[in-house]
Structure 1
Amino acid sequence: MFQTLKNAWKVTEVRNKLIFTFLMLVVYRLGNVIPVPFMNTKAVEAVMSGNEAGLLQMLNSFSGGSLSGMTIFALGIYPYITASIIMQLITIAFPSLGESLKDGEEGKRKMGMYTKIVGVLLAFVQAYAMVNVLFKSAVATGDTFSKVVMFLTLIAGTMFLVWLGELITEKGVGNGISIIIFFGIISGVPNALKSMTQSYEVGAASWWGFAILALVSLAILAIVIEINQGERKVPVQYAKRVVGRKMYGGQSTHIPIKVNMSGVMPVIFSSAIMQLPQTIVSLFGVDAPKWLQNLMSVQTTSGLIIYCIVQLFLIIVFAYFYSAIQFNTVEYAKNLQQYGGFIPGIRPGKPTGEYLQRISGKLTLIGALILAIIATAPILINHFTGIQMLFAGTSLIIVVGVVLETIKQIESMLTMRHYKGFLNK
């Protein structure tokens, strides 16, 4: 990996993209220290350490620590991610609308515009919950003007992150949205290490507990890397054909079907969706019905178990959803037949598509189950044992996935310049 980055730095074009990405991330971190107007930061710290800390700390970890300081990026980028999920589901439910929104550059532009509009609406709901419920005691002034300014600031912060992410995707390296989430997660590492050190110094934690956490984290890291890199190679044979005086085909190759074809997107999407129930509970504040707290709040054992079950289900659903989008077995089988390719022992055409669909479905299920277990197990462990991992399962999956995808993109840039990176060895 480091050799790949070293080679990338030697290429002017790639180096400029890396520098641009770094500068945009600096802008992101600067925004994380600019507080929202009319907000008492000391009162925010008191709220974060209060009874709601479990929910708020979970949201804070994905916003790069901006929630703990109630900064302009406190909402993070998740309202936009949730909006993109909603729009994609709408295009599936209404195929005619989906075709018009995905057809050509004009369709993509409309799709992006509608997604941003829905993102603004969701950001407003979350901003309302934060200002009027979660951090109500931290609002310095309770007049309407102050609250409107805070609403607009939080919404503008989210949409600025969306613009920043699109800018990184266009002119930088990697997927901008994923890069921002990744950077937000790792920015919390220093504070997490400091907290773990203080726990050890006061005797609240032991060295063997840290050793177990380190081993568990390394095991999760290894598993995530394996499922992201793992693939099944389906053999393909091309028939010989004569064109003029030359003979073409006859060679053997393979179709690489990845275990985790959708990458980190199922985890990111499920995390975004799972913030909605917490927002609904927070809208009621202390007046929330008991049954609603037990059902949707992560502060109760029943609510946490339901949260983990739903998150596990959503990860599997989104894994299949993205796998179907990225690997259309019907079209693949048609293209394979058109160019004279076939899988040994499988008839070309529809049987080939069904065979690829079966393999893809089994691999997707395996990868999705592993991702879901890794994402949910640390949450349950923390709740029942009190052991807090430096990286939760969800965070670790996102971090590893984004790093691997970004390195692959850099390698694809270098491939054209005859460099060889560590992933190709």
Structure 2
Amino acid sequence: MIQKFAEIFESPDLRRKILFTLGAIAIFRVGAAIPIPGINADALRSIFQTGGILNFLNMFSGGALSQFSIFSMGVMPYINASIIMSLLQGAHVLPYLDRLAKEGELGRRKLNQLTRYLTVFLATFQSFGLTIAITKMQPPGGGMSVVSDPTWGFYLLTVLTLTAGTIFVMWLGEQITEQGIGNGVSLIIFSGIVDRIPGAARDFIGLIQAEELGLLKAIMIVLAILAMVTVTLWVETAQRKIPVQYAKRVVGRKMYGGAQSYLPLKVDQSGVIAVIFAGSLLAVPMTITSFTPQTTPWVQGMQDFLNRGNWIYQILYAGLIIFFCYFYNSVSINPVDLAENMKKSGGFIPGYRPGESTAKYIEWVLERITLGGALFVAAVCVLPDVAQKYLNLPFYLGGTALLIVVGVALDTMGQLEAQLIMRHYEGFLKKGRLRTRWFNVGAPS
């Protein structure tokens, strides 16, 4: 493994990509530590120590929201804009977007530009809502408010700063994706989660030393976390391999084809995208409620609903994750196109006719494995909240954070491996395998 990492830095181009990615993440971390003027840091810190939905939103801002820094909104407006654009394309409600989707690289650039414009609009709207919300926040024990002087000047400066910060973070994420290694948006969220791991470990040890957490329970928690990481790694790398046979062809005096390959379909095709989309969508009601007085009954009801300990919230969160897992698969994988491309190249799935029959079989397998992957992802994100509530744990385990860390790490290592193989080095990841008997029960003929 050490040799493989040494080989990474032997390639100047790959070394440049890694250093660029690390430099961009460092810039984001510096910006995430620069607070907006006029904020009482102690009052804000005491509010975030109470947990709840704010800590959940803080995770998607890369840890910047807890300091109300210039990057407080992180990539949430960009993610919400991407969700809206994806839904519009998937529903085929705007013919213009359908035409752009079919125009190849040029159409993709135009769609990205439209997503950026929508991001600016959402960032302006959400920054105004966040500014109003932060001025109304009070520490649990009373005392000084978070904003010492909420004048119109403060509102204007904060909205402009947060909007500009979101635009910069969006640009930074795109630069990481294009010129670095990994998905820029995911790595920005990943960096904020990893940055909090040392502090969480220190607090965990402090609870044990203060005898607020028993040694046996602490050991069980550590074993549970290790088990979650192990199972998550297995599921995230698991594939359903559909065998593909290629017919023999005679071209001139040579014979081609006759080889056997396979079509790999990941169990969790969406990775962390479904989790990020679901979490960002749940943040929208908080922005809407910030525009009305906090004493309004429906606003108080909405805040109770957004409590992570609420079972209705957990069901909605799990449902959104499952929905986006299926939605991502429907957008990213087209069984008809796969079957047609396979047919054109002379390939076929044993036992199924090329064309429509093959497409139906691929679609059937996709639906089956997506259900298992989506249920697993939803369970990892929801069960730690349930465990914290009913086992009276003094801290939050963070299933969503765990899934994002593992998923982003695997995706980034996968891209590194692809770069190594492209440069004639051997990769360092072992391929995931998944037995296929269960998935073949009741397959269409």
Question: TM-score normalised by the shorter chain: which range applies?
Answer: over 0.9
Asked if structure 1 preserves the Cα contact closer than 8 Å seen for 2:59 and 2:189, the reply is no
> Where does the alignment leave 5 or more consecutive residues of structure 2 unmatched?
137-144, 432-445
- Counterpart in 1 of 2:174? 166
Shift of 1:389: 5.7
Partner of 2:139: none
The answer to whether the Cα contact below 8 Å between 1:240 and 1:248 also exists between their aligned partners in 2 is: yes
Q: 1: distance between equivalents of 2:394 and 2:340?
A: 50
After TM superposition, the structure 1 = structure 2 runs for residues 37-186 of structure 1, keeping only pairs within 5 Å, are 37-49=37-49, 53-93=51-91, 94-102=93-101, 103-136=103-136, 137-186=145-194
TM-aligned CA deviation for residue 419 of structure 1:
1.1
Give the secondary structure class of the aligned counterpart of 2:351: coil
Alignment of 1:225-244 (within 5 A): 225-244=233-252
C-alpha change, 1:370 and 1:322, in structure 2 (3 Å) is same
Q: Write 1 or 2 for the structure with the bigger share of helix.
A: 1
Superposed CA offset, 1:220-275 (max 9, x none)? 11111111111121111111222222222111111111111121111111111111
Q: What is the aligned residue count?
A: 421
Which residue identity is paired with 1:112? Answer: N
Taking structure 2 as the reference length, the TM-score comes to: 0.89
Q: Distance in 2 between matches of 1:18 and 1:279?
A: 36
Q: Which moved more, 1:406-415 or 1:337-346?
A: 337-346
Residue from 224, 228, 253 that aligns with 1:220: 228
Moved more, 286-295 or 157-166: 286-295
Whether the aligned pair in 2 keeps the contact of 1:330 and 1:353 (CA below 8 Å) is yes
Letter in 1 for 2:212: A
Q: SS where residue 386 of structure 2 aligns?
A: helix
Question: Given that residues 289 and 299 in structure 2 are in contact (C-alpha distance below 8 angstroms), is that contact kept between their aligned partners in structure 1?
Answer: no
Q: Secondary structure at the match of 1:344?
A: coil
Q: Show the counterpart of 1:329.
A: 335
Q: Is the 8 A contact 1:101 1:110 kept in 2?
A: yes
Q: 1:402 to 1:389 in 2, by over 3 A?
A: farther
Pairs within 5 Å for 1:257-406 = 257-284=265-292, 286-289=294-297, 293=301, 297-299=305-307, 304-387=310-393, 391-406=397-412
Among candidates 425, 428, 443, match of residue 419 of structure 1:
425
Aligned residues of 1:277 and 1:297 also touching (Cα < 8 A):
no
Counterpart AA for 2:45: E
For the 8 Å contact 2:123–2:166, the answer to whether it is kept is yes
Matches of 1:108 and 1:242 in 2, distance apart?
39
Offset, 1:181:
0.8
Q: Quick check: 2:129–2:290 contact (8 Å CA) kept in 1?
A: yes
Whole-Å Cα distance in 2 between the matches of residues 350 and 155 of structure 1? 48
Q: SS where residue 68 of structure 1 aligns?
A: helix
The 1:2–1:213 alpha-carbon spacing in structure 2 relative to 1, beyond 3 Å, is: farther
The answer on whether the counterparts of 1:295 and 1:306 sit within 8 Å (CA) in structure 2 is: no
- Cα contact 2:275–2:400 (8 A) shared by 1: yes
- Root-mean-square deviation over aligned CA pairs: 2.1
1:391–1:159 CA distance, 2 compared to 1 (3 A): farther
Residue identity over aligned pairs, in percent, reads: 39
SS in 2 for 1:10: coil
1:91–1:97 contact (8 Å) kept in structure 2: no
Partner-residue secondary structure (3-state), 1:260: coil
